[in-house]
Structures are given as C-alpha cells and as structure tokens.
Structure 1
Amino acid sequence: MGHLDIRLLGPFEIRRDGLVVQVPGRKVRALLAVLALNCGRTVSFDGLGRALWADDPPQRLRGSLQTYVGRLRRVLGDDAVTTEPAGYRLDVPVECVDVLRFHRLLDDGKLEQALGLWRGEPFEGSRWFEEHEAPALVERYLTAWEQRTGADIADLQKLTTRYPLRETLWLKLLTALRDAGRHAEALEHYEALRTHLADELGVDPAPELQAIHRSLLGTKTAGIPRDLTRFFGRDEELAQLEQALRDSRLVTIAGPPGTGKTRLSREVAARIGSRYADGVVLVELVSTTPHALLTEITEYADVLVVLDNCEHVVDEARTAAVQVLATYPSVRILATSRVPLGAPGEQVFRLPPLAPAPASRLFADRAALVSGAAPADQSTVDAICRKLDGLPLAIELAAAWSRVLSPREILERLDPLLQDSDGTMRAALDWSYHLLSAPQQLLFERLAVFSGSFDLAALEYVADLGDELLRALTGLVDHSLVLTDRLPDGGIRYRLLEPVRQYAATALGEAPSIPTRHAKHFLAVAQQGDSDLHGNDRGRILIGLQRDEGNFLAALSWARSQPGDTGLRLSTALAYYWEVRGFVNDARTWLEESLDRGDPALRAVALARLGRLAWRQRDYQASTLAYQESLDLNQHRGDEPGTARALRNLALVAAATGQAPYAVDLCAQSIAKFRQYGDERGRGWTLSVLGLAYCEQAAWADAGPCFREVREIGRSTGSAALTFAGRLGVAYIAAEGGEVRVHREELTAIVADLRTASGLIEDPEWLWASMSLAASEGRVRASLRLAGAAAALSRRGGRMSDATTVHCDAIVERLRQQVGGRTADRLMAAGRRLNQDELMAEALAPPTPTDRPLSSRELEVADLAGQGLSNEQIASALVISRRTVESHLEHIRQKLDLSSRYEIIAWALSRSG
C-alpha cells in the first residue's frame, strides 16, 4: 500500500509515498475522513450514515456504504478498510492521519510542529463535519496559537481577520507590531478592533489591549512623519540595516538619486524606534544644518537619530556626527547620503535598486492610485520596471502617467515621459551632477556611451582620461552615480542605472570620438572572444562575452549609421558567439545588413559565417550560395587556408542535402589543402564532416575510421572541441552497430571532457548520445529524461546532423510506445528540469533491476488490471497469491515510473487500444 498521508487540516488531500492520490467523489472523501478520525476503531453503519447523509440516509444504507467502501478500497488497497459486523474500520497507522498527529503533538507540548500541520480550515464544505468535528478542532488550534511564544505578523493578521472577536490573538498581533516598530499599523489595528467590539458586542477592548494601546501612544517617534503610500520590498535591506545598527553606532544608507534612501530610513526608524528609551529624532539637512543635530540631541540619552540628505554638506555632517557619538554613548545615527560621510567607525550600506517583483508591485500600486485600477498587462509593467532599472523614483514618475496612458503606451514613450514629468528626477540628478568636480563630470558624461556593465579596461580606453581616471571613478562611486558589481572570480564591473545613463547622455551631447573609441574597443573584445571560443575554456569565455552583450549591440547600432566596415567586422566576430547562444536569427540579420561594406578578404570570412548560420537554420539554398561566394573570393585572392575551409563548408551542406558523394569529393580537396600547409586542426574538422557524409550514406565502416582519426588529432593538438567531436562520432557508430561497451567507454570520456571544458555542454549531441546509450542498456526512464533535456537544448540553438536526428527520433518513438505517451511526456519534462551535474550523472548511471523491461508475467498482470480486475481477481485468474500480484504491480510502477494503479490501468489500455 505504501506510506499513506491523510490530510484533513485544510483542503482534503491524500498522498502515497509523497505523491497525490485522487479520491473520486465527495461521499468517498467524507467516508475516508470519518474512518480516519477513528483510525483503528470500528465506526458503526449508523454513524457513517449520519456523517455522509446527515438526517436523510438512503433506505439501503449498508448497500450504499458498501459501494463507497469498495471505491475507497480501490484507492487505498483492499486491506486498508476492514468490514466488521457492526461497521467498518480503517487499518492504517495513527501517524498517517494529520488530525491525530496534531492532537498528539499538542499533548506532547510541541506547538510549532502541531501548528505546522494546519493548512487551512478543516472539513470545509461539509456541513456535518463543520458542525460536529471542526469547532473543537479549531478551538484547540487557536488555543495553541495563544500559547505560542513569538508569532509571524502575517499569520496573526490572517487569524484576527478570520476570528475578529478573539482578543487574545489581537493582543499577540499588537505586541508583535509594536516590537517590530510598526506602531502606526498597530494603532490602526487597535482602532479597527475597538470599533468592531463596540458594534458587535457593545464593549471596549480588554484591559490588556488598552494597556498596549497606551504604550503605543507614548512611544517617542513623533518626529518621523508617516508616508501616505504603501512601502514595497526591501525586507532583506530592512533586516540588514537592523543588524547594522546593532553592530555599529553610525550607519549610512548610500545610493543613487531616486533609490528610496529617505523612505527606507524612515521605515527602519518606525520599525525599531521603540527599542530606544527616548525614541527617534529626525534631522532633515535639506531644511536645516548639521549643527541642529547638536541642539536636538542634548536632552536625550538613548535615541536613534535619522540624519537625512547629507550629500551636500558631507563635511559638516561628518563633524556633527562624530561629536554627538563621542559625547553621548547611547546615541546611534542612521544617515542617508549619496556620498559616505567618511567618519571613523561608519558602516556604509549601499542601497541597490528594487528587485523585479517589488518594483512591478510598486508601479501597479501607484498606477492604481491615479487611475482607479491596477494595470492588467503584467508583462508590460515588468518591461517598464526593467527599463527603469528598478529605480523607485523613476517607477513612481512613470506610473503617474497611468491616468492618461496604458502601460504599453507608457513603455513606448518612456524616455520623453520621464523628461517631461514634473522635473523631480532631473532635479535630483542635477543636484548630484553639480556636486561633482570637473574631471568627475567629464567622466560621468563619457560613461553614457556604455550600455550595461563594463570593466576597467573598457573604461580606461573609452574614457581616455589618463591619470585622472581612477580618482574621478572613485568620486562617482562615492556619489553613488556609478554602481559596482563584484564577480565570482573577484573582478569588478561598473554600471549606471538606466535613468542616470540617460541623464549623462544629455550632458555628453555631440562627442563623436567617444562612440568611436567604444566601438573600437568592443570590436577588439569580440575578435579576441571569437578566437578564444574555439579553445578549451569556452564556458568562461561565453560568460565574459555575455556580460558585454549590451555594449556589442550599442556598438553595432552606432556603426549602422557610420561609413566604413566596423559593423561588418563586429557582426562577423560575434557570429559564432551568437550561434552558440542560440541567437541565430539576430546574427544572420546583422551580417546581411552590413555585408556590402567590407573588402573581399573580410567579405569572404563574413560569407562563411553567414553560410553556417543558414545551415543551422536548415536554409540550405542560402547556405550554399554564401559558402560558394566565399569559396570564389578565396580562390580569386589565392587564399589557400580560406579555400580549404570553404570547401569543407560546402561539403557540410552537400552532406545535409543528400549529395554525399559530392561531399566526399569536396572533403578530399579540403584535406589535401590542409595537409599542404600543415594545419592539423583544419584537417581534423574536415575529417569530421567526411564522417558525417559517410553516415548519411549509412557507410558505417568508412565513417568509423574518420571519427577515430578526428579523436586522435584532437588529442595530439590539444583541442578539446575536436576530441569531443571525434568521440561523439565514434559513440554514434557504436550505437548503430550495437556495441554498447564501446558506446559507454566513449561517453564516459565525453563526460570527463565536459567537466574540464564546460562550454562543450551546450552541444546537444552529447545528450543525444547519452539518451541512445541509456536506451541500449534498457534504462528507459533515464533515456527519456535525457531526450527531454536534449530536445530543450536543441530548441535553444543546438544543431544536430540529420542522421543523428533520425536515429534519436526513432528511439524516442520506440520508448513512447513502450511506456505510453503520458509517461513519456512526464519523463521528458522532468529531464528539462535537470541541471548539468544531474544530467552527467544520469548519462553514466549503471543499469538497475528496475530498468529491465516488463516480464511476461508483469505484462499479464498489467493487462488484467487494465480490464478492471481487482487484485484478488487477478490472483485467481493467474493462479498466484494476492501478495504476488501486489509485488508485480509495484515492480510495474517502478519500471514504468507510474505513481498509481490508475496510471497502470491507463498504460495497459493504451497498449491494447
């Protein structure tokens, strides 16, 4: 029967071995609930009748009960429900029923574990249960909550909403809100309770509640004004700042204009102000001087000071803060500034932009305030917030236009809308800009050319500021106009938030040398990356190039409007990177747009890249035309290496279009030329194409030696990619010949290569080879999971040969017939969720007993189950014991990865029909 878990504390749910089991019919579920509550005890026929039919039981009560018990046994197993002379009994361990576990845990004083079982209102929807069982259960649940030390505010708010007259719950909620510094919310909740009690019962809150109300009114946080709008996100930042104020007496929230430093500081103060005997003091430096801090603080001994907007008086603020902290040892200061104060012992908290989810909620909330309804177009709202880099002020300004524009219209007009708003954003940035020194202003303007993040090497070349650069950069970081991102390898990249970058662009104006230097630098980066991607560290190179993607696109867009061949050089250098990343359409578009701008040598290379992209898309006509023109240009220029590569490229298309003999001839010409000038790697890649051409003809005896030589050339030249290609070819030939041992040996070596040259893992061919091996070894479930992962990788841009595609499609279809379509789909979906380490482990997992196909006896049992026979009937038909039938059914479930008897029946029916 497996391990049962009967869950009644919330929506009705049954699980067997962790998997949900469907219990058909409301009456069957009610029957199980009554039996479960009396687990191990006989429930009378009359008692069951009252629970299922209340005061109107059927005339043939026992017959009706027998029908429902039969249905329940089909779900739980024949032995689960026992028939007694007086009624029925559920024979499962008490631990299987959550209600019974709940009572036992409470009896043992384990409140947290008991409350953790509660998933919602018990027995909801059943009038009998709600009247006879639920009240006592709910009372015990609420009593447990009242006895609990410490409680989650959100849970308490839900409980007080559902049980509004339960004053002990209100007391816990108000206490928790007070201790969290959320005094305004606590006061609002108290007023709601007072009104409700007066309306419903005509009484005042209990004395304990009145006492906490008085304590809230007496807290000294009056100096902190409460905002009228909701606060979103920042839970992690609030917790970090609370801890920072425990560890340090001076904490400065630093960040770019518009990140919400002031709002966050006030939320922190409201949350923890009650921990200070003399409350909170707010000193706003926009309207006063830092010296006001000295006069505000003298009368207090234990106080939190919020020192807001320090950036324009940093020196004076630092002096005042140091003096106060030295004089009053119980004082702590929370400052906000775009620039750190630079005081001894200061802990600087760099405030990042909002995360995507709270940023979208902020937009929706502010849009609803002005338009009366939250926007329905969630994807567009997400896009707006992404474009604004999660900057709260910019999001609020954009949302304000919701009173006249839809989210889509706001997104389309975002840049001018921000510029034409009430000037708040620009005023904030103007303030920051004018606080900068001249070199800092110049660097800030030049940073506008970057799109996304950039490293120091790019900054040094593009900005061209010489010795002034590092000092100016440090100033911009201190002023929170430039953000820093630390990489896993310890490196640092820099970036501007998009609204800040747009402001810098207006300050930059016309400076043609800067975008020229930007394009020149990132062309060099792309060319170096193109060369390195063919080496053994492709995974690391891919990550580096991906970080610069925004800058590549910005340089391409600029080059499109400029004379010269920069655009073609850049799109050519990026073509292979884009191919690996799966952006084949984009790569092809950029190449085709700029193809007429280069000299013959550059065009020959670009056409070769274009031909490969078309081949990846199976656009063989366009691929042949591009490769042929590249060959003509190379031959005309006398470029022998280029000619050898072009011949190989044409052979690749010929093999894919059924012209295998022509492909073999082209490969022979290419190999001869590579031999002529000693390019072993070039010869190796042509041999791999020759092997594919033989495979297309099913000439396995000719293909095998080609791939083995490719493997050896890869080893001798130190090319992991070439070795990988050779091993894949050898594995493929082994699969076709049924040589399982050779197939596993090559795949083991391939997986070892993947661990040292991670970029190769993006090639779906190794997953298809793994799937093929698993199928050959009878590992049906593993094979389908690997097939699912391979198909997903192929859809992201991976390309397989047509011969491999036919081979693997045939395997998948055979396995689908074996396990059934639904099971196959589920296994392939599971494969798409596996990570790289899990896939490599799955590929090399040894066969297990459950990987063997169903035996003839198991097939007989499955077919009889599919005909609707019970275990006893199957046992009688096959002249075996019922326990043996149960064992066979368990083996069938394991081998076919099925979760229930119903799925076995569905599988058997699909086999027969």
Structure 2
Amino acid sequence: MSVRATPRYRGDLPVEVTSFVGRRRESSEARRLLGRTRLLTFVGAGGVGKTRLARRVAADVRRTFPDGVWLVNLAPLRDGDLLASTVAATLGLADWSVRPSLDSLVDFVSDKRVLIVLDNCEHLLDVSAAFVDGLLSAAANVRILVTSRQPLGVGGETVLEVPPMSLPVPDEALSARRLDESEAVRLFVERAAEAVPGLVLGEADWEAVARLCRRLDGIPLAIELAAVRLRSLSTEQIIDRLDDRFGLLTRGSRTAMPRQQTLRATVDWSRDLCSPGERTLWARLSVFSGGFDLAAAEQVCRGEAIASEDVFDLVAALVDKSLVLRDDCGDGARYRMLETIRQYGRMMLVESAQEAMLGRRHRDHYLRVVGCSEEARFGPEQLRWYARLRRDHANVRAAMDFCLTEPGGARTVFQMVTANWPYWIYYGILGEGRHWLNLALEQDPAPTAARARALWVAGRLALLQSDLSGAELLLRDCAALAEKLGDPSAEAHVTELFGVVELFRGNYARAISLQEEAVRRYRRIGEPPGTCAVTLYRMALAASASGETDRAERFCEESLAICEEHGTHLYRPLALWALGFTRYRRGDQPGAEATIGESLRLQRHSNDRWNTAQCVEVLAWIASANGQHEHAATLLGAAHMLWRSLGTSMPETPPFADFHGPCDFQLRETLGDEVFAAAFERGVALGPDEAIGYALNENPRRSRRTSRPRSALTSRERQVADLVAQGMTNKEIAATLVIAQRTAEGHVEHILEKLGFVSRAQIASWATRNSGT
C-alpha cells in the first residue's frame, strides 16, 4: 500500500446549511491579505456577518493549508485559562502532558501549515491577544484568522473591517438587475423564499424591498430576522412597524451608534412579536452554552409561566422566527442561538431577576447528566454516553463556572468531574479536569469524602500526564485523608495509583503487588468492574515487561472476561493490546500481530488515541523482529505522530522505553539514517485513520519487504527512476525519452505509488541503491 497521504481537507469547518450571499470584495481582499499576513482580524458590529465571512474565506483557502483549517468558537468559553487547551483540542491535540497547553500546541504545529479561525474573541480580548502572540512567535507556518468586535492589538495584526452588505443606490431607477447587484437585497430575497416557499416578489415590491434593506443598514442578521416576518406581513407593513420601533429606540437612547441602533431595533421588534411565553423561554434559553437538546430545555426552563409540555411548542415557535437554530445530530435534534441573540436573551434574563435561579437549574440538570447511572458510566452504553457528554461539554463547563461563584459550590465541582472520571481520560482533556479540580480543592479544604475522591482523581490525571511528582503529592494527601475518614474506596484507588507510579518507574514487581491489593479491595467494596479491568490491564503490562508472560496472560484473560461479562467496550481494546504485547514478549509474533490488530480495529469505534498509539508502536516492534525494516520504521513514524497528538513522551517512559529505544536503534543501524528517516517521515505524514489502515495492511498493494524489487516497475518506469536519480526535471526527462511532459509526470506519479514514496529524493535514493540489479 502506498503510504502517501491522499488529497484531503483536514479541519472542522461546519457545512453551510443556508446559501452564502455576496461578500465578493471582502472575500477577495481577505484571501489576498492572508497571503501576506499571519494574523488577520475581521472587526465589525454584532450581526454584521463576521463569522459567516470567516468560515467562507477559510473554506476558500483550505487548499493552501494541507494540515487543516480549524474553527474554534470562543463564544461559549468563559474561563480564559482554558483558551489554549480548547484550541489544542480542536486541532486534535489531546492534553496528556503537564506542560502548558500553549507549549504543547507550539510543538504540535511547529512543522504544520494550518489556519486557525478564532471566532468571537471580544470577551476574551487580552487572553486571546497573548495566546495569538505566543503561538505566532513560535510556530512559523501557522496563520490565524480572528473575528472580534475590536482588534487584538498584537504586533503584525492586519485588520479588515467587515462592513454591512451593499445597498441599492438611492434615487436611481430600480430594475431587477440593479436590485440583484445589491447584496442586502439578494440576501433578503433568498431568506424570504426560504421562509415563505413559493413567494414571488413582483416589480411593485422592489421599491419596498430596497427601502427595507436601507432601513436595516444592510446588516445581515437584521435582514434575516425581517425576512422571516413575511410569513405574516407584507414588506410595507414590516417597514411601518420598524419605523415605529426606530422612533422608540431613538427616544430611548441617542448615544448608541447607528448600526447598533438598527440591530437593537430589529431584535427588539422580534421580541415584541413574540408571545409572553416565547419571550420568557428566549431569556431562559440564554443560560445554555454551546447548544442544548429538548430534554435540557424542558428541565431547565419549565415552571413559573411555562409548563413542561409547552416547551417544545415554544422552542418550535422560536425556530420559526429564526431566533433559535436547529441542528441535527446522531441522537436527535439540538438547538442553539446566534451569540447576538443569546446575549440579548441574557439581558432579558437579568432584567427578569431570574439569572441566579436559572443558573441553579442549569447546574442541577448537568449535575444529573454527569452523575448518570453506573450502568451508563461503566456498562455497554458507556461510549454513547460519553459522546453525549462531549456534546454538552460547554454546558458542563458553564455549570462548574457557576458553582465556583456559589457558597459550597466547590463540592458540586468535585462531583461533576469525578462522577465520570474516565470521560476526561477518554477525550484527552486531562489538563482541564485537573484545572477544575485544582480550583475546587483550593476553594474547599474541608476533610470530606468528596475531597478525598477529588484528590485521587486529580492524582490519576496527573499520572497519565507523566507528572509523577505532582501525582505523588496528591496521592499522599489522599492517603492521609482516606485513613482519617476510614474511606475504603479512596484507599483502594490510592493503592492502585501508587502501583501505577511504580510501573512508570520500571519497578514492575512492586507495581504488580500494589495493584493486586487494589483489585482485592475493589472487589470487596463493589467498585465498578471497569476499574478492575483497567487495573488488570496495567498488571499484565508490568508482568510482560518483566518477562512473567504466563502471569501476564492470566491477568489479560481476567480483564477480558470482565469486559465480556459487563459489556465494558471501552476497556476491551486495552486488554487485547496487553494480550498482544504478552505474546510479543513470548516470541509469538503472528499471535501478537493478530491480537493487536483486533484491538486496533476496535479503535475505529472509539476515541481512545492512547491505545491506538500503543497498538501501532508494538506493531512496529513486531515488524522489526520479523525483518520488515522499512515497514517498521514507517510504523514508528506513525506511532510518533499519534503519541505527539497526545502531547506525551510516553515512549521515553517505562515500560515502553525498554522496547522503543532498542527498536529505533536497530532500525537505524540496519537501514541507515537516510532510508530510516524517509520511511519514518512517511509514517509521520499519515493521519490517525490512515495510520490504522496502514498498520492493519488493509491495502493488499503494500509490500512489507525492506525494498521493492526492481521488477515492481516497468522498464520505462525504471528508465524514469534512473533519470530522476540524475537530477532531471520532468521536462528534461520528457525531452530525453522523447515523450510528452505530462506522460513523464504520470510515470513519476506511478513510481511514487508503487514504491510507497512521497518525494523524488526517495526515488533517487532507491534507484541508486538498486542500480545494476
């Protein structure tokens, strides 16, 4: 199989669900500026269309950024300390390192060409400015596109003001063509057609549409809100009512900027056209962060003028008015509000004096969500439940933010983080989990069982970040508190985790002894079976590393039996990996490869990049032992890419270091630095899915021999390879062989494909090594 990366667009730009109208001049200018500046900031008033324009420009230039175009919406983020880790997570960098998130991110993107879109920065202006300055100073190939209501004020920043949409020229004879030249009119007509299917605007409507768009100053959000009103009013009626609203607004506030007046008037009018129940729900929905589902809306927003059974109809009414947007996801519909609309709702909520009450309801709802049943957290529904939590992560964050402003709220934070502690590990957000626990531990030092649980969870997260010293401090505090409280659960977890400390220090016998004791305690107190399964996996790892393969296999079988009995799908791949590693240590390379392959195939149904990395790593060791040296080097490169995406140096930590270093050394000695580096870099260039496919040998065209025989190429391709080795360009090769240049280019592409190479230099090296054969 060729390991060249196939053309693809990496990133997470959302699919546009409505047409993009106009903005040709701004789009063209933005693309031009991105060609010469590394920081471009779109500034403009709320509702002017900065976000939509940024997404379109990012999509237009994504070919320029082979390592991805990534959108980071900062609107739901309130804690500036989490900005860097939020960006890192969006780019696919998990937080398995104790290093500052910005440092890990710099390392991750230092050799990548990426565009990062930071959307809605105005409420985190100082933090955003420091982050952008630090990242751009250290990562030469990164470019950043920002949307904000004001510039960041960072050196090298280029500012592009996003104006309202173009309007029809006043006092000119109107025609369909002239109207169509106006972006504002085109937007209104398109959104009107969506709101009222079959609507046809005749010549008599042209003047009214032009006046309406001028009245709305060409602000896209205001135009879209007005277009929805055509369901019940004519264009002239909309203008009349807006004129009344503008008069009221001008009398109420002469200090507002004209565009702010326009948008405020339009949103005010939208509010006035809502029923009392719709207005109340709009205000209450503003408590959500990053979206919500219907069940959450019913739980949080019902009561005091809104019955639970009325919530759906009210949400549907707000969707019809374009005040709430509907998104489809795997488990059903979710809803969200544009940030301008949400902020307006928040203002109404404050005016109603219900902000604190809704904050508590929101907190209580997401406390119930994270504290779901043990079966959901550790049983067959575990992965589905974690996916649900991930969608609501912004709401969980907002709930914890609220908790830390309330007396006694730190204990609720303890509960929200620790109730589903594997979730923070599974999604690689260990640093954020520690962040919340550290804030709560500082705020509430009382010696309680909740604090003891928070200490061992924080210690577990620290261990997985390779912060052994920090973990030991937390675990010692937990051990002392657990003994004082007589807390058997905390004592069992501390025992297990001290065993993990010994494992990562290479003290395998001590690691096994402590973890065996922990399993006995877990079973005595009825701890969820998944905890035992993971502990047994690490016991097998320690036993295999020390050469006790029979004992390791018993641990693996016991772990797999627990997974089978209780349906803990999250941990089965780990147990299979440990069994494969045990077979590798025993010298059963075919059995090891098959078992680890089975583990790796299961990774496609989960997000456990840790196990993906360790599977690819051990497959590299197996390939090396089988004499498949270039294949092994490529797998090592792929494993390096995966470990790097975790932000961890785990291959340098026992027990991985016991095998990684010797494998790396042997391959360099066997292949030579140049060939090893070329094969290694092919692996580094793979994405995670490509790495899994390559490791599983899913394309039969890939050969695992250390070099391909010259007969793998046709006679003409061998000629071309020799000419490439002489340093000829495609044009020169074409002239030498009297063929078309396009034909020469095709031969070179076929050679790259057949030999699994990514550069002409690799062809040249191969041709030189195989000359005369």
Q: In 2 relative to 1, CA 688–220 (structure 1 residues): closer, same or farther, beyond 3 Å?
A: closer
In the TM superposition, what is the alpha-carbon distance from 1:892 to its structure 2 partner?
10
Alignment partners' CA distance in 2, 1:892 and 1:285: 61
Q: In 2 relative to 1, CA 531–807 (structure 1 residues): closer, same or farther, beyond 3 Å?
A: farther
**Matched residue type, 1:709:** E
In the TM superposition, what is the alpha-carbon distance from 1:742 to its structure 2 partner?
0.9
1:687-836 equivalences under 5 Å are: 687-754=536-603, 757-760=605-608, 763=611, 764-778=613-627, 783-797=632-646, 802-812=654-664, 814-815=666-667, 818=671, 820-832=675-687, 835=689
Alignment-derived partner of residue 282 in structure 2: 444
Alignment-derived partner of residue 839 in structure 1: 692
The answer as to 2:277 corresponding to 1:425 is: no
Alignment-derived partner of residue 249 in structure 1: 198
In the TM superposition, what is the alpha-carbon distance from 1:591 to its structure 2 partner?
0.7
String of CA shifts for 1:816-868, please: whole Å, max 9, x gaps: 55262541343123322x527x724641448878422249999xx99x98998
Alignment partners' CA distance in 1, 2:396 and 2:257: 27
Contact map agreement 2:636 2:680 (CA 8 A) in 1: no
Q: In 2 relative to 1, CA 563–487 (structure 1 residues): closer, same or farther, beyond 3 Å?
A: same
Q: Unaligned stretches of 5+ in structure 1?
A: 1-17, 20-183, 186-216, 252-268, 270-275, 289-305, 322-334, 339-416, 871-888
In the TM superposition, what is the alpha-carbon distance from 1:696 to its structure 2 partner?
4.7
Alignment partners' CA distance in 2, 1:790 and 1:336: 62
Equivalent position to 1:903, from 752, 762, 771 = 762
String of CA shifts for 1:561-619, please: whole Å, max 9, x gaps: 21112222223346532332222222212111101526621112111110011112211
In the TM superposition, what is the alpha-carbon distance from 1:285 to its structure 2 partner?
10
Q: How well do the aligned residues superpose, as a CA RMSD in angstroms?
A: 4.9
Q: In 2 relative to 1, CA 652–866 (structure 1 residues): closer, same or farther, beyond 3 Å?
A: farther
Alignment-derived partner of residue 208 in structure 2: 283
Q: In 2 relative to 1, CA 591–418 (structure 1 residues): closer, same or farther, beyond 3 Å?
A: farther
Alignment-derived partner of residue 525 in structure 1: 369
Alignment partners' CA distance in 2, 1:682 and 1:504: 44
Alignment-derived partner of residue 392 in structure 2: 548
1:98-497 equivalences under 5 Å are: 220-221=175-176, 224=179, 227=182, 249-250=198-199, 281-284=206-209, 309=226, 315=232, 317=234, 422-464=260-302, 465-466=306-307, 467-489=309-331, 491-497=332-338
Alignment partners' CA distance in 1, 2:511 and 2:394: 40
Q: Secondary structure at the match of 1:831?
A: coil
Q: Secondary structure at the match of 1:424?
A: helix
**Matched residue type, 1:473:** V
Contact map agreement 1:647 1:670 (CA 8 A) in 2: yes
**Matched residue type, 1:502:** Q
Q: In 2 relative to 1, CA 811–890 (structure 1 residues): closer, same or farther, beyond 3 Å?
A: farther
Q: Secondary structure at the match of 1:802?
A: coil
Q: How many percent identity over aligned positions?
A: 24
1:42-57 equivalences under 5 Å are: none
TM-score norm. by structure 1 comes to 0.51
Contact map agreement 2:544 2:585 (CA 8 A) in 1: no
**Matched residue type, 1:527:** G
Q: Secondary structure at the match of 2:590?
A: helix
Alignment partners' CA distance in 2, 1:740 and 1:418: 74
String of CA shifts for 1:797-817, please: whole Å, max 9, x gaps: 386563125423543454455
Alignment-derived partner of residue 496 in structure 2: 648
The answer as to 2:454 corresponding to 1:606 is: yes
String of CA shifts for 1:502-529, please: whole Å, max 9, x gaps: 1111111132111011111112212229
Q: Unaligned stretches of 5+ in structure 2?
A: 1-5, 8-166, 214-222, 242-254, 712-717, 728-747
Contact map agreement 2:375 2:381 (CA 8 A) in 1: no
Equivalent position to 1:617, from 459, 462, 465 = 465
String of CA shifts for 1:82-109, please: whole Å, max 9, x gaps: xxxxxxxxxxxxxxxxxxxxxxxxxxxx
Contact map agreement 2:725 2:765 (CA 8 A) in 1: no
Q: In 2 relative to 1, CA 827–336 (structure 1 residues): closer, same or farther, beyond 3 Å?
A: farther
Alignment partners' CA distance in 2, 1:284 and 1:745: 68
Q: Secondary structure at the match of 2:570?
A: helix
Alignment partners' CA distance in 1, 2:239 and 2:385: 40
In the TM superposition, what is the alpha-carbon distance from 1:746 to its structure 2 partner?
1.0
In the TM superposition, what is the alpha-carbon distance from 1:667 to its structure 2 partner?
2.2
Q: In 2 relative to 1, CA 422–494 (structure 1 residues): closer, same or farther, beyond 3 Å?
A: closer
1:809-888 equivalences under 5 Å are: 809-812=661-664, 814-815=666-667, 818=671, 820-832=675-687, 835=689, 839-840=692-693, 842-845=695-698, 850-854=703-707
Q: In 2 relative to 1, CA 711–823 (structure 1 residues): closer, same or farther, beyond 3 Å?
A: same
Q: In 2 relative to 1, CA 574–336 (structure 1 residues): closer, same or farther, beyond 3 Å?
A: farther
Higher relative contact order (CA 8 A, sep 6+): 2
1:652-667 equivalences under 5 Å are: 652-667=500-515
In the TM superposition, what is the alpha-carbon distance from 1:645 to its structure 2 partner?
2.5
Q: In 2 relative to 1, CA 908–629 (structure 1 residues): closer, same or farther, beyond 3 Å?
A: farther
Equivalent position to 2:401, from 554, 557, 574 = 557
Q: Secondary structure at the match of 1:689?
A: helix
1:3-42 equivalences under 5 Å are: none
Alignment-derived partner of residue 7 in structure 1: none
In the TM superposition, what is the alpha-carbon distance from 1:898 to its structure 2 partner?
3.7
Q: Secondary structure at the match of 2:292?
A: coil
Alignment partners' CA distance in 2, 1:689 and 1:488: 34
Contact map agreement 1:688 1:707 (CA 8 A) in 2: yes
Alignment partners' CA distance in 2, 1:477 and 1:287: 23
Q: In 2 relative to 1, CA 655–438 (structure 1 residues): closer, same or farther, beyond 3 Å?
A: same
Alignment partners' CA distance in 2, 1:504 and 1:307: 18
Alignment partners' CA distance in 1, 2:626 and 2:474: 43
Alignment partners' CA distance in 2, 1:735 and 1:461: 53
